[in-house]
Amino acid sequence: MKASALNPWLLSVAPMMDWTDRHFRYLLRLISQWVRLYTEMVVDQSILLGNRAKLLDFNPEEHPVALQLGGSVPERLAEAARIGEAWGYDEINLNLGCPSERVQGGGFGACLMLEPERVAACMAAMRQAVGVPVTAKHRLGVDEMEDYRYVARFVERLAGVGVGVFIVHARKAYLKGLSPAENRTVPPLRYDWVYRLKEDFPHLTIVLNGGVRTLEEAEAHLERVDGVMLGRAVYEDPFVLAEADRRFFSSSRQVDRFWVARQMMGYARAQLERGLPLWAVARHMLNLFKGQPGGRLWRRLLSEGACRRGAGVEVLEAALERVMAESERRLGVQSGR
């Protein structure tokens, strides 16, 4: 499948609670102009009853950005989707894959895979409420299910109410006995099932998620599916996306870590002015120099300095100077200077 900017789901970064907030998404957007971004899951009731600006505000640079919702009541989800669209989101996604006890307690997330009729009603109501795409993010099944036909029927049912995009975390979830983190590692990955979904439903957009670490791996999957979503690999090393625009979106743009760090300083300054602590931004920058000369030093200086009360951007400036010095020193050693 030829990678093309015409397919909005070609490459995306997964919704990750506590990680993919607006500050991390801003950082990612500096690295890639094209990759599709997802919010953390926001529960529909929080949007209906809570502080919308706090939950939904994002930076205009973040587009294309999708709002992920959690919920299981059609009317509430429809209303939350409508608000999300009015807020400017480019897509509304429904979480059908989170197995955490808290989420199960609310009756949504992965346990909804057991209730295709309810999910179909939810998605139909959301689709009716908004004009932007309404998409599903789900697993291959739950608990003891070992049946490809189940997930195929699930997809078919949702396609029946007009859902066209399915982001498939390529493993099932255990609703009891595993923590959310274990549920992202213990159930084996079954990429073959995701490929088969694409073969069986060629008219649907099938996005593969789970365990993809590099753009090379993403490219290989793109031979078989329409899109790839990366999660942990991007948080652990955001520069894994550095080549994304050139490789997948025919862009000649090139960025380096120092430029990104400097842009983030300007951004952090603006956030401080809004009254946020430096750490709200700096915590997402810890892995910016992952695997680079001075990368550990950078992480240590930020961890120690940026979480202090009243810390300012000078912590980042000082850390960057140290990393630049370390980088030059290593280059000097390598070239025998």
User: Which of 209/271 has CB closer to ligand FMN?
Assistant: 209
- Nearest residue to ligand FMN by CB is 231
User: Which of 235/249 has CB closer to ligand FMN?
Assistant: 235
Has 98 been annotated as catalytic? yes
Binding positions for ligand FMN, 142-201, rule CB under 6 A = 169, 184
SS (H, E, C) the chain: CCCCCCCCCCEEECCCCCCCCHHHHHHHHHHCCCCEEEEEEEEHHHHHHCCHHHHHCCCHHHCCEEEEEECCCHHHHHHHHHHHHHHCCCEEEEEECCCCHHHHHCCCHHHHHHCHHHHHHHHHHHHHHCCCCEEEEECCCECCCCCHHHHHHHHHHHHHCCCCEEEEECCCECCCCCCCCHHHCCCCCCHHHHHHHHHHCCCCEEEEECCCCCHHHHHHHCCCCCEEEECHHHHHCHHHHCCHHHHHHCCCCCCCHHHHHHHHHHHHHHHHHCCCCHHHHHHHHCCCCCCCCCHHHHHHHHHHHCCCCCCCCHHHHHHHHHHHHHHHHHHHHHCCC
Instruction: Among 3, 8, 19, 118, indicate the residue that binds ligand FMN (CB under 6 A).
Output: 19
Q: How far is the CB of 113 from ligand FMN (least distance, A)?
A: 13
Binding positions for ligand FMN, 79-138, rule CB under 6 A = 95, 97-98, 137
Q: How far is the CB of 68 from ligand FMN (least distance, A)?
A: 6
User: Which of 111/265 has CB closer to ligand FMN?
Assistant: 111
Asked if residue 113 belongs to a known ligand binding site, the reply is no
Window contacting ligand FMN (CB under 6 A); options: 25-33, 153-161, 224-232, 268-276:
224-232
Q: How far is the CB of 264 from ligand FMN (least distance, A)?
A: 21
Binding residue positions:
15-17, 68, 137, 169, 209-211, 231-232
Positions marked catalytic: 98
Applying CB under 6 A, the residues found at the interface with ligand FMN are 14-19, 40-41, 68, 95, 97-98, 137, 169, 184, 209-212, 230-233
